[in-house]
Amino acid sequence: AIVCRTQDGMVEKVEELHWVREKHPILGWPLIRGVIVFLDSMVKGMKALTYSADLLPEDEQEEPGKIDLWIEKHFGEEKAKDIIIGTAVVLGIALSIVLFILIPTLLAGLTKGFIHSPVVRNLFEGLLRIVIFLLYLWGVAHMKDVERMFAYHGAEHKTIFCYEKGLPLTVENVRIQPRHHPRCGTSFLFVVIFVSILVSSVVFGIWPITNVWLRTLAHLILLPLVVGITYEFNRWVGRHVQDSKLAQFLTAPGLWLQNFTTNEPDDSMIECA
């Protein structure tokens, strides 16, 4: 379900949920399902943002670029949207690979003259990945439009807490809920970085790859496994965070990061969420 606030009031778009595992059961298996859910979430997220952008008043919408017009002319309006969304998802993944895999690997490669231990180099590479991720979140969180979007993100978390507690979904009940949720995508990405450090430490400990491009390729090959492990981890902590001290300890860094990616919403945002 997508809900947007427009000048004319709330607009809803509700679609029936279809699990891909219903047609292909293997895609619902542990480790595999995490990759599928991750890609599905990216596609749905881009579709939601595109849908909300289409609801802007015409005088506030950006003029379509030459490439957009060319795609629409040759493929039709609906097909063009799918192509543009697909391209945005691919570019988003490509940007993530460059920022969080290629650049740390390149920078760590510059230390091979004085860091000779594969374990130390891998830890240094992982530290660079964490620093870049934190700087990226800090920079994005200070963009005006993103600040507003992160307030809606906070409203979403509060609403989910209210729903999970079985309380009536009213503004008053939602407002008092926490805005940090253990199953948030921010926590997911943070855990991905830590799991990638652990997995690559094992792999590069057994096969010490020093070539920058081969290491980058190895990271890409390992990425589905890393995402799969992280998804299963998030499912576990999400189920046990209320009754397990270990789960609470493991979720603490991801919850802290949500100080960057969630803001306190106003009542209109809570109504929408």
Q: For residue 163, count CB atoms less than 10 angstroms from its CB and return exposed for 0-12, middle for 13-18, buried for 19 or more.
A: middle
Q: For residue 74, count CB atoms less than 10 angstroms from its CB and return exposed for 0-12, middle for 13-18, buried for 19 or more.
A: exposed
- Position 174 scores a pLDDT of 97
Confidence of residue 61 (pLDDT cuts 50, 70, 90): low
- Position 118 scores a pLDDT of 81
- Position 145 scores a pLDDT of 85
pLDDT digits (tens, 9 = 90+) for 203-244: 888 888 888 889 889 999 999 999 999 999 888 887 888 888
CA–CA distance, 41 with 35 (Å, rounded to integer): 10
* Spatial CA neighbour of 129 closest among 181, 182, 187, 191: 191
pLDDT digits (tens, 9 = 90+) for 36-47: 888 888 888 888
Confidence of residue 176 (pLDDT cuts 50, 70, 90): very high
